[in-house]
Every structure is written in structure tokens, then in C-alpha cells.
Amino acid sequence: MMPLSMASVGTKLEIVGFRGGFGMRRRLADLGMNIGMEISVVSTHRRGPMVVLMKGSRFAIGRGIAHHVFVKPK
């Protein structure tokens, strides 16, 4: 298990948990992220947002939010 912010490009991942308070969990739910969902990292840079593929759509997620999503390789 690791934070999404540490995942490599092209890796297929499964969301296993979230860290943070009610506001953070609500923000992630609004993005459509749920435990058990499969996602993959499309691009990442040292600074700036990560682009992830989720349910056939690409989303840009800031590093701060990505650090609160815990994933495991699928």
C-alpha cells in the first residue's frame, strides 16, 4: 500500500483507502473515487498535478490530494 503520489506512470492500481477529514473524503467522492476502483497513472511530473485514468476519463489531481489516496498494484 502506498500513496497515489508515489505511483509510477502506466501502473494499474486499486484504491484501498483514503486519509483525511470529511472535506477531503467528500472531495474525493465528488471526483468519483471509491475504494476498490481501478485507476492508472497517465502522467506525472516532479511538480504539478498527476493525470490519472479512471472510468475511461482522464483527471488531473494535485499532489496534495494524491497524497491522501492509498493504492496497491493490481
Contact 32, 42 (CB under 8 A): no
Q: What dotted CATH number matches 2-73?
A: 2.30.30.90
pTM of structure? 0.86
Average pLDDT of 12-21?
93
Distance CA 2, CA 57 (A): 23
Q: Is the pLDDT assigned to residue 28 strictly greater than 90?
A: no
Q: What is the pLDDT of residue 45?
A: 82
Average pLDDT of 35-44?
94
Q: Give the residue extent of every domain in the chain.
A: 2-73
Q: What percent of the chain has pLDDT over 70?
A: 100
Contact 10, 64 (CB under 8 A): no
Q: What percent of the chain has pLDDT over 90?
A: 64
Distance CA 65, CA 49 (A): 9
Q: How confident is the model at residue 24 (pLDDT cuts 50, 70, 90)?
A: confident
Q: Residue type at 26?
A: R
